[in-house]
Chains A and B, each alone.
Chain A
């Protein structure tokens, strides 16, 4: 189904939670104040070094949070192996919206899809009374739903590459080895590889 060494990932969440900022930080290491709202969806790619001999190219669809584009979301998450659902820690409603997305993704794509949950704008947590979402509660919810959860700050760069990397590692673990970006023919196709325990991902840091 997927091309070797590539995987498709989608960013979802309410408008203005920082999806595009996370994508920009992830792909280019940059941050932009006063970024414009995304229209439709933006497409970008970034190659990750999972470990010494595994690279994975992330094909990322950064979707628009505005409600009028919601009906298009399935176009982008259909067939995606991973998703990063984003909320804003200073906006409790955005967490409810994030939970709706998780539910929708699980219904559409099943338990196999790797889903990350990012509580963005963590840099604002230090400002008095700005935080509206408690991290421990979300961590519990994330555990119950098999989500990779982290609080992130696209502005400062905190946890951004970490959460993408963790999602990518889990995708790599789930993908059959022969679809990973190894030199062609390096492994005989007949070599037995139990799913989720392939050699390239069995190193101790695969679940960090």
Chain B
């Protein structure tokens, strides 16, 4: 991308990118100068011991130069030089799975194509780090658990000692790799809901084939894409990722990968399940460093066009080891028909108005007498009972709702919004009607469908 003003993670209007062909070389020179400028600025800031905030405002999530990478990553990951992760060096490699570890480490180091001396030291460093990690956290090393993939970009850095390599590894794992990245794991159920939110048709394509996201995305999520992207791409992706510091960004990147592949997926309608999984799981391998800017700005676009409250809801159970609400949340996310939105977010969005962020069109599905006695002044009432009593007429009511929604968006009304949020009473029996209505909308492949958690209060 040639526009200097364009921030790596900001989707902006492309209009000012056109018609500049004539000045191309000029622009390139300018770009080089400015590139150097921000890098020098960043180098200076790092020397002064800057924090993540200043790195982000200078770096703007752009790819870094090799010499700055380690110190930027360390700052972003909040790693200082006092061995806070309590690494204890040892050459006792005696885990039951030690042979497996050694094999994988050897394969990794060979693939780096570095000279023999460095190769030997990298080899023992990685093995030491993995072995210590297993012992400390009482975890077993398994093939395909993503650890070795995560270490691949890390060993290309000029790290000071094993303690530092270990700190990088642990910090990235704790911060950015969601817990329970296993079959039927919570991160994948959550991802399904995000996919459903943005593309019900594609979600249904996968559901029909019983292809759950863990089948194709586990290697993406477990290794923060290092397992499938080329080494170069991983380094640049992580440059942006750690500056951006959004723990949920991994899901939005995955969403973009699916969108990129959507057309091809739909052409695979008569293909075997495994073939589809194989095709989509390799999607990140096609990325080049040139694609990254678009890749990330699209992901950012999806992130900002998604209700925010799910983050708060799931952050601690996905990323905090001490969280105890996990099993309950895992069940709720697995059974959810669509993304939940907190009442707080709904009210805030309603009050703020304006063009920023997600704008909701609220559909109140409570029984008429409850709606009549009190309701949000912007809410549209939809009689859910009609869906059972007279399905044909209900269809007509839904068409009217869609027309009203369209009209209020065009008119710029506060009640207008692309995002349909359904609201019940919060009472289980009545809310079954709301869920039924939600399913009806999803069936019509309507996107941006959410449900107000807890209902009207």
Contact = CB atoms under 8 A, between A and B. Distances in A.
A69 B439 contact: yes
Contacts of A125: none
Main secondary structure of the interface of B (DSSP, over half): helix
B388 A75 contact: yes
Interface stretch (B18-26, B290-298, B428-436): B428-436
B269 A34 contact: yes
Contact of A71 (B388, B432, B433): B432
A33 B270 contact: yes
B27 to A, nearest CB: 48
Looking at chain A, what size class is its interface with the partner chain?
A: 20 to 34
B204 interface: yes
B436 A72 contact: yes
Interface stretch (B333-341, B369-377, B406-414): B333-341
A37 interface: yes
- B208, B337, B440: residue with the most chain A Cβ atoms closer than 10 Å: B208
Looking at chain B, what size class is its interface with the partner chain?
A: 20 to 34
B10 to A, nearest CB: 35
Contacts of B432: 71-72, 74-75
Contact of A66 (B200, B207, B443): B207
Nearest to A78: B388
A37 B210 CA distance: 9
Given A68-B337, A72-B436, A39 B443 contact: yes
A64 B210 CA distance: 14
Interface in B324-347: 334-337
Contact of A40 (B205, B207, B443): B443
A69 to B, nearest CB: 7
B457 to A, nearest CB: 22
A69 B438 CA distance: 11
Interface string A18-58: 00000000000000011111111111000000000000000
Which 8 interchain pairs have the tightest Cβ spacing? A40-B439, A37-B208, A39-B443, A43-B391, A36-B208, A39-B442, A37-B207, A40-B443
Given A37-B207, A39-B442, 20 more contacts: A15-B210, A16-B210, A33-B270, A34-B270, A35-B208, A36-B204, A36-B205, A37-B208, A39-B204, A40-B438, A40-B440, A40-B442, A40-B443, A41-B439, A64-B439, A68-B336, A68-B337, A69-B439, A72-B435, A72-B436
Interface of A: 15-16, 33-43, 64, 66, 68-69, 71-72, 74-76
Interface of B: 200, 204-205, 207-208, 210, 269-270, 334-337, 388, 391, 432-433, 435-436, 438-440, 442-443
21 contacts: A15-B210, A34-B270, A37-B204, A37-B207, A37-B208, A38-B443, A39-B200, A39-B442, A40-B436, A40-B438, A40-B440, A41-B436, A43-B391, A64-B439, A66-B207, A68-B334, A68-B337, A71-B335, A71-B432, A72-B439, A75-B432
